[in-house]
Amino acid sequence: MKDIFVLMEHRRGELREVSLELLSGAAGLGGTVVAVLLGSGADDFAAKAAGLADKVLYVDDPMFENYNAEAYQKALSALIKEHGPGLVLMGHTGHGVDLAPALAVELGAPLVTDITGLEMDGDKPKPVRQYYGGKLDAHMVLKDADLYILTVREATFQAAEPSKSGEVVKVANPVSEDISYRKFVEYVEPEVGEVDITQSALLVGVGRGIREDKNLPLLEELASALGADLAASRAVVDAGWLPADRQVGISGKTVKPKLYLAVGISGAFQHVTGMKGSEFIVAINKDPDAPIFGIAQVGIVDDLLKVVPALTEKIKELKG
Amino acid sequence: MNMVVCVKRVPDTAESEVHIDSSGKGIETGKLSFRMNDADNYAVEEAILIKEKIGGTVNVISIGDEKSDEQIRMALAKGGDEAVRITDPALEGSDGFALAKALAAAVKGMEYDLVLTGALADDDGCAVVGVALAELLGVPHAAYVKKVEVLEDGKRIKVGRELEGGLMEFLEMDLPAVLTIQTGINEPRYASFKGIKAAAKKEIAVKSVADLGLDPSEVGEAGSWAVLESFSYPVVGEKAEILEGDPAETAAKLAAILKEKGLV
Ligand SMILES: Cc1cc2nc3c(=O)[nH]c(=O)nc-3n(C[C@H](O)[C@H](O)[C@H](O)COP(=O)(O)OP(=O)(O)OC[C@H]3O[C@@H](n4cnc5c(N)ncnc54)[C@H](O)[C@@H]3O)c2cc1C
């Protein structure tokens, strides 16, 4: 079997967890696992990758201090042409999504994105991915090719304990020209709000199911009866009903409260990623098939506009 | 600034049961309502905001059957100028790559400085089309864009990409470029009555794959990287214990559980 390239993803001095997950997942596929690290003074990442890879290809150049699609695409396509792997894996992240389709078009390599499961048929991947916000699994068949590219959803594989000591091979930067049309400027942290929901013991998560912001007071009353803070899905933040610092999920916060009460939230994986570590999860949703019921311990299938006021009353009664 | 916005009609499945159809590769759409893809709605708004600020045109493209005219006309009603619908049975079964080829063929015939697509489609969730389109056009791109600023010379833009944890990555790029727009970048307007009336009269140019200079084998399953073999229902782990009864009963049961757990 041909080699498997796994792209190491790092940001602001940290090797991202998805890189280790992918190295661990690739180990079960059969080929030689090659970690590809484009970095600047990133010897510590190379060492970390070596613990889970058979080999580390490390390009050390200031060009790669911060992710840049142009620089990454040029370097990766050159390395791929030189070394001829049969499969390239990268995270389905803000980086992978920005890079993989352009690289795939350039190299003529079939690409499947956001995969959640993977088996191999010889050199050919047989990926599974989700459709319709997680309501269906799709089994994909790729065209025959010499090279395939996959972007893998975070947490599809579990990062294993380091068990290898792959050779770290420093290679010269294959990109000789300047990066011309796309320039990294800066990172800007999201604004900090008045409540830090990552510290809240009890959270009421509000979803698009509330329909209109005029229904928000119902949720505020429930939260105040419980002594909980309000959190939100992205849909609620996008609509401007609650501020961005309340957003739970992949592009918001990761929370682990004692109670997460999801109200009118469908349970898209981008949301679930941020709250699945909560100790006790309750969902109120009128759709019995909503994916949120797959991770909640207790659920109520009903209209939230009826259940929430009733629940607020009962909590008040119990508290006396 | 000449802009092109790509929009897609998608089924609204967030609140409905999704049933696999008899082919095993599609879903039963009879009971579903359809709407414009969420992120595309923000892309349309962003194009119109730029047009209002610095002037220019907004060309709307959609791949789909005549029902997509509903979404195209909505974009026109909000401020779009012209529209193209790409309709061809050969497009059936296209993945993001095949769709990007059809879009690229259409965009190449237009004058453009900026192409906007949604960050991903709510149905397949692939997040491929915009970035693949950029590569096919040979222009720079940025994905997951949540801030756009046209720089003074009008030949460059500064964009903010939203990464994990809400971190924004700012970069500057040359135009022309393709951006995939993320939800929440703006507040999409409602179309005015006047706009809707004017849009109803506009002509939507309908193009086949051949009209765009493509061979049918370049699109559809034949022109795709990957083909959907079958759908299955996901295996869910242990499902939640569902409390039964009317709202007063379920609320009482839940309150009792919370009390027992020491959460109240
Ligand atoms: C790159 C990227 C990053 C993302 N990051 C995040 C993130 O950080 N956080 C996040 O939350 N999302 C994120 N998303 C968006 C995510 O995919 C979903 O679109 C979003 O989570 C949906 O929010 P929702 O559950 O509130 O709305 P919907 O999916 O629309 O669900 C609404 C739910 O309310 C229910 N409902 C409706 N009416 C009622 C009623 N009367 N009573 C009871 N129930 C009712 C419906 O059955 C439905 O299940 C991201 C997406 C992308 C592409």
Mean pLDDT by 10 residues, chain B (264 residues): 98 93 96 97 98 97 98 98 98 98 97 98 98 98 98 93 97 97 97 97 98 98 98 88 97 97 94
- Give the mean pLDDT of chain A: 96
What tens digit of pLDDT does each residue of A101-114 get?
999 999 999 999 99
- What is the rounded distance in angstroms from the CA atom of residue A298 to the CA atom of residue A318? 19
Among protein residues, the one whose CA lies closest to atom 44 of ligand 1: A285
How many other C-beta atoms are found inside a 10 Å radius of the C-beta of residue B106?
Answer: 23
What tens digit of pLDDT does each residue of A33-84 get?
999 999 999 999 999 999 999 999 999 999 999 999 999 999 999 999 999 9
Give the atom of ligand 1 at the shortest distance from the alpha carbon of B127.
Answer: 53
Distance from CA of B58 to the nearest CA of A (A): 24
- What is the rounded distance in angstroms from the CA atom of residue A275 to the CA atom of residue B25? 32
- What is the rounded distance in angstroms from the CA atom of residue B124 to the CA atom of residue A115? 12
> How far, CA to CA in Å, does B101 sit from each of A312, B36, B107?
54, 21, 10
- What is the rounded distance in angstroms from the CA atom of residue B79 to the CA atom of residue A236? 26
Chain B neighbors of A296, CB-CB under 8 A = 240
Residue B255 has a pLDDT of: 98
Contact (CB, 8 A) for A251 and A271: no
The crossing angle, in degrees rounded to 10, of helices B247-260 and A304-319 is 50
Domain B2-218 CATH (choose: 3.90.1150.10, 3.20.20.70, 3.40.50.620, 3.50.50.60): 3.40.50.620
Residue A231 has a pLDDT of: 98
Distance from CA of B182 to the nearest CA of A (A): 10
Q: What is the DSSP string of A180-209?
A: -SEEEEEEEPPPP-SS-GGG-SEEEEE-GG
Residue ranges, comma separated, of all CATH 3.40.50.1220 domains in chain A are 197-319
The 8-class DSSP code of residue A126 comes to E
- Residues of chain B numbered 50-69 and touching chain A (CB < 8 Å): none
Yes or no, beta carbons of B172 and A182 under 8 Å apart: yes
Residue A14 has pLDDT above 90, yes or no: yes
Chain A neighbors of B146, CB-CB under 8 A = none
> How far, CA to CA in Å, does A93 sit from each of A109, B127, B229?
19, 11, 25
CB pairs under 8 A between A and B: 267
C-alpha dihedral (A12, A13, A15, A18), degrees to nearest 10: -20
Yes or no, beta carbons of A299 and B242 under 8 Å apart: yes
Among protein residues, the one whose CA lies closest to atom 29 of ligand 1: A266
Residue A194 has pLDDT above 90, yes or no: no
What tens digit of pLDDT does each residue of A210-249 get?
999 999 999 999 999 999 999 999 999 999 999 999 999 9
Residue A34 has a pLDDT of: 98
ipTM of the assembly?
0.96
Q: In what order do the strands lie in the sheet with A55-60?
A: A167-170, A55-60, A33-39, A4-7, A87-91, A148-152, A111-121, A124-131, A136-142, B226-232
Distance from CA of A39 to the nearest CA of B (A): 17
Yes or no, beta carbons of A182 and B134 under 8 Å apart: no
> What is the reported pTM?
0.96
Class of domain A197-319: alpha beta
Distance B215 CA to ligand 1 centre (A): 39
Ligand 1 pocket mutation, candidates A113, A285, A307, A308, criterion most atoms within 8 A of CB: A285
Distance B92 CA to ligand 1 centre (A): 29
The values of phi and psi at residue B70, to 5°, are: -60, -45
Q: Does domain A4-170 have CATH number 3.90.1150.10?
A: no
How many other C-beta atoms are found inside a 10 Å radius of the C-beta of residue A176?
Answer: 8
Distance B203 CA to ligand 1 centre (A): 35
